[in-house]
Every structure is written in C-alpha cells, then in structure tokens.
Amino acid sequence: MIEEEIGNELRRAGGGATLATAESCTGGLVSHRLTNAPGANEAKEKVLGVAGETLREKGAVSAECAVEMARGVRGLFESDFGVATTGIAGPSGGTPEKPVGLVFIAVATRDFADYEKHFFHGDRETNKREAAEAALGMLKKNILKIKTGTKGLVAQKGRAAGF
C-alpha cells in the first residue's frame, strides 16, 4: 500500500522526516490512509509534546498519553478544544494487558481534560470508525458541559488532573 511506502520512506529520510496534512475536500481521508500503516507514535512525543516518561512508564496507549496528546494539540493550534485518540486498531500489536481494540480518547480545554477508555471488537477499519464516533460523541458532550456550565467530569471515566 502506498501509505506503508510513504511511512517507510519518511523513516529512511535523514533525521526522521515528519509530515503534516491540511485537508479540505478530502475531509481527513489522507490522514486516515496514512494511519492505516502502523508507527505513528513518534509524532506523539515530537509534535504533541507527550513526555518521554509518560511513553516509557504508561505507554503510547494509555489515558495519560491521550490526555497529553489532547492538551498538546490544543496548545499547538491554540484552539478551545483538543481531541486525541490513541489505541491499538489491529489487526496486530495487542498484548494481554493492552489488547487489539483498546482505545483511549481525551478531550482537553485550557482548564480541564477528560478521558474515556474503550474496547472495540472489530477489524482495523471498524475499530477506527467506532473510535472516531466515540471521540466525536465525547467532544459533543464536553462542548455541552461548557455551554451549560456543568464542567464537572464523570469520575468513572476519568479526570485528567493529577493522575
């Protein structure tokens, strides 16, 4: 697949070349295609500012990493909300502790961050689709909390302050 070839070429490029996309008519499809090839974890640390310690101690697939990603992308683009997903879409890469289908989703504002942990049981495409739907739902829920002034977060799903 061309997305795997692109990933391989970027890794071979001197200094670990990076890539950014800006999409209008493709609505994120270019980014979607690129994430079909495994290996996007390097950007979490280099671009979004996820702490190396978080990646080493908690892993790239963790609530802590998702929250740092959401905060990082929000800060990078100076947006009101940041949304992040990190997980194991499949078909490989899972472990007994972190199985295929495990996804953490985080939403961050300047003042707070919220996260959810999900387990999806489909193939790679289905898991990605379900994770995207869950992320959009979580974003909507948090926008409504701000709008209605009920910023309190669901304790069971996680509050991202002071892990």
Q: Which of 2-6, 20-24, 112-116, 135-139 has the lowest mean pLDDT?
A: 20-24
Q: Could you tell me if residue 33 is inside a domain?
A: no
The sign of the torsion formed by the CA atoms of 147, 128, 112, 20 equals: negative
pLDDT tops 60 at residue 160: no
For the chain, how many structural domains are there in total? 1
Question: Is 120 within a domain?
Answer: yes
Asked if residue 157 is part of any domain, the answer here is: yes
130 Cβ contact partners less than 8 Å away, ≥ 6 residues apart: 118, 120, 122
Residue 163 in any domain: the answer is yes
Cβ–Cβ < 8 Å for 103, 85: yes
In tens, the pLDDT along 66-98 reads 999 999 999 988 899 999 999 999 999 999 999
Asked if residue 36 is part of any domain, the answer here is: no
pLDDT of residue 50: 93
CATH code, 142: 3.90.950.20
Task: Provide the whole-model pTM.
Answer: 0.78
Boundaries of domain holding 73: 58-163
